[in-house]
Structure 1
Amino acid sequence: MSSRPDALLRRRGEPLRASFLELFFDLAFVLALQELSLVLLADVSVAGAARTALLLLPLWWVWVVTAWFTDWFDRANRWVQALLVGAALGMLLMSVALPEATGGRAGLFAGAYVAIHVGRTVVTAVALRGHPLRRRTLRILAWFGTTGILWLVGAGWPAARVPVWVAALVLDYTAPRMGWRTPGLGRARPGELRLRGGHLTERFQQVFIIALGELIITAGVAYSATGLAAAQSVAFLLAFATAVLIGLLYVTPAGRNLGTAFDERDPSRFGTVTAYLHLVLIAGVVATSVATDLVITHPTERGTGAVVALTVAGPALFLAGRVALSAVIFRRLSWPQLLGLPTLLLTALAGTALPLLGSAAATVVVLLVVALLDRRLASTELESRPGR
């Protein structure tokens, strides 16, 4: 390990584009999303949705903290690269454990999660000996060390597993909002948590595209397993349209302004809030992916209340996250997206009287209208700005 702590830190003028190993790490997240979809598909119920959410939260937190890590440290450093490869392996092991993560593979799931966070912070704490930023790493190590105990206790104590893991997640997600406040080390200053808007914006866009890719792959696999009948073909086209509309709604216009907002706001608050909101967006895409499989497989059947709710819940979750993202970037609400939420709710209420194909078609119509109105609103505001 380099004897110079500065060799580990991000270099001035380092390119904002994601590195090869960051994209390699994202490949592990592809498997995670696929396995999560299968977990929910196996149990389309409130309990199944809650279990899927419980498993998505630690997976997403590994991705987020890894994105922050690569923003703080030099991605060309061999130790940083080794830690990225280790994080990818850990994510793969968590993904492999997902089908039985709350059962027989709980030890593998929790152990990999703890190993990623604790191992990474131990290595960086040792490498930063004598550097002022070592205090930031020690704070993070203290928090992940504490929650790591809870994760391992939950893995070894089945009766208390879910509540203990929920407690650990609350602490993990709360820590950055508190500046990783630690007894004896205090709270991190905003400058210690500075994030580069250009880099983080690209990383969020990349992981969102991965989620959309999982949706499209699910639709393709489900469609290829059918007889390619007319109803199934229409369902597949609706799934593709849903993916396109969700992608357009994500990137226009808030997605283009996320980097600027990062650079202008308090990084310890804005960086954490955007991570929370992207969790909602990703959860919406995962739910949409599962609903897509069900609609393509059984397009002409009437769905149960849970299946119809899932068909609408995915896009609704996405829209809810998208409304909130616009609010934190522009400090105002997007009325087309806001109106889309109750409209989707009405679609869900009417959906039990329709075949699944009808519910999917109604959802696509709502997303299309929201996308068109949102785009029109963005164009009107751009034209009304001074100097145009």
Structure 2
Amino acid sequence: MSSAPFAERRSVAPLELFFDLIFVFAIGQLAEHLHAELSWRGAAETAVMLVAVLSTWALTSFDATFLGVDRAGTRRLVLVVMGLGLFMNAQITAAFTDRPWAFAVPLVTILLLTDITAAVSAQTTILRQHYLRVTAWAVVSIPLWLIGAAVDQESRLVWWAAAAVVDMAGVWLTHPLPRNVLSSQHLVFDAEHMVERIRLFIILQLGETVLTLGTAISAAPIDAPTVVTGLGVFVALVCLCASYFSGGEDILSRHVSATADRLRPVRRAVSGQYSTLAGLVILAVGAELAISHPTGQGSIQLGLLLFGGPILYVLTQAWWYYISTRQAWSARLVACLVCAAAGVAACWLPPLASVLILDTILVVLVLVLKRVHRRILMTMATDDA
């Protein structure tokens, strides 16, 4: 029986779902940037901006949950962040060329606005102290974002990468300071609300990836190889969706409701969104390459993108299930190892063949996970009884 305090359960508000749409818009922008700069530097630039996008989403989402999106002040905060986020995300493809300030200024404004608002208006002392620590971390990262916008393009990546590391580490570690850390075990927190936010956010991420896939199909010739490749990538996305939603979300919900520290598993799930989103962006670019030349030559780039994206996505799930429940992780890990081997083979195979191999791996994974999830849920139900 859990000893954690329970917050009043609130449904996800339409405004929160609207807010999420602003940030999944970034998937297409990030994929476009990576496709245009298909190099290790381009990948690093994409990763830095992805961290900025996810960190602002995470901070604002936690603010809305802690402060209560039903409060007028919280709704105003979310709306302002939406406007700033829309402008920031629209600059992703030019942030490392001629529009660094157009990306950095909305970003640092969001960081300051969300942190200070929560530090002032949080309803409990423990939350106000927590957001003062969050603000202290922002004081470190914000100058790095601004300096990066001011320097030349070659140096910008170094400054912004340092800023991204600070922001991501803060989210992962709950922004600790020496001898001053968040004690979340007895914190009143609407965990089920954030579980639902994560669920909907993943659906929206997958949906935006489908839109990117549709754009790639519309730009390619209409012939049998293109159609089969496009459908094949769509099947892969459906399988990635099913790998979580075929019982996996129920395991997450039950685990959160049964654990003593209700914030910890949710925080881990939010931290996992960085690699989940990265996996979808990488897969989207790999899909564009495969659809544009389905019968062409394989390449190292194609193998890394087409199989590396699903590996990141599935490996994140394996990590969460392992550290949280110690269950349902081994099948995911095996699938990642098989994908890694297939990614090597993709260097010599036509893209269409690689897509079909990916589909085979993911379909088998979903069938296995469906049985695994059902067994775990039955065990949980028995334990609850």
Calculate the TM-score normalised by the size of structure 2: 0.89
2:35 counterpart (41, 49, 53): 41
Greater Cα shift, 75-84 or 268-277: 268-277
Q: In the TM superposition, what is the alpha-carbon distance from 1:123 to its structure 2 partner?
A: 3.0
State the aligned residue count. Answer: 376
Q: Which amino acid is 1:373 matched to? A: V
CA distance in 1 between counterparts of 2:173 and 2:30 reads 30
Question: Which one of 325, 336, 341 corresponds to residue 320 of structure 2?
Answer: 325
Quote the residue 1:170 is aligned against.
Answer: 165
Cα separation, 2, equivalents of 1:216 and 1:379 = 28
Percent identity, aligned pairs only? Answer: 26
- Which runs of 5 or more structure 2 residues have no equivalent in the other structure? 1-5
Residue type at the aligned position of 1:54: V
Report whether the alignment pairs 1:344 with 2:339.
Answer: yes
Alignment of 1:1-388 (within 5 A): 13-15=8-10, 17-127=11-121, 133-158=127-152, 160-176=155-171, 178-182=173-177, 186-190=180-184, 194-263=188-257, 264-267=259-262, 269-332=264-327, 334-382=329-377, 386=382
Distance in 2 between the 1:167 and 1:103 partners? 19
Q: Deviations over 1:217-257 (max 9, x none)?
A: 12222222333211111112112211110000022333222
Q: Distance in 1 between matches of 2:172 and 2:231?
A: 42
CA contact (8 A) 1:179 1:189 kept: no
The alpha-carbon distance between structure 1 residues 112 and 379, as it changes in their structure 2 partners (threshold 3 A), is same
Output the CA distance in 2 between the equivalents of 1:176 and 1:356.
Answer: 37
CA contact under 8 A between 1:124 and 1:137: conserved in structure 2? yes
Distance in 1, matches of 2:73 and 2:378, equals 49
What letter is aligned with 1:83? L
Q: Which AA in structure 1 matches 2:52?
A: P
AA paired with 1:111? V
Distance in 2, Cα, partners of 1:55 & 1:237: 30
Cα 1:152–1:231 shift into 2, 3 Å: same
Of 244-253 and 323-332, the range deviating more from structure 2: 323-332
Matched-pair contact (CA < 8 Å) for 2:265–2:324: no
Question: Per chain length, whose mean CA-contact separation is higher, i.e. which structure has more relative contact order (CA < 8 Å, sep 6+)?
Answer: 2
Residue 279 of structure 1: CA displacement?
1.6
Asked if the contact 1:178/1:187 (under 8 Å) is kept, the reply is: no
Q: How many Å separate the matches in 2 of 1:176 and 1:288?
A: 25
Report if aligned partners of 1:248, 1:371 keep a CA contact under 8 Å in 2. Answer: yes
How far off is 1:313 after superposition? 0.9
Cα distance change, pair 192–382 in 1 and its aligned pair in 2 (3 A) = closer
One-letter amino acid matched to 1:363: L
Structure 1 stretches (4+) deviating beyond 4 angstroms?
128-132, 176-179, 191-194, 380-388
Superposed displacement of residue 167, structure 1: 2.2
CA contact (8 A) 1:195 1:271 kept: no
Q: Separation in 2 of the partners of 1:38 and 1:193? A: 41
1:50 corresponds to which letter in structure 2? A
Distance 1:249 1:129 in 2: 38
Q: 1:70 offset after TM fit, Å?
A: 1.1
Measure, in 2, the Cα distance between the counterparts of 1:329 and 1:188: 19
Structure 2: distance between partners of 1:265 and 1:281: 26
Q: Give the Cα separation in 2 of the matches to 1:283 and 1:179.
A: 21
Indicate the RMSD between aligned Cα atoms, in angstroms: 2.6
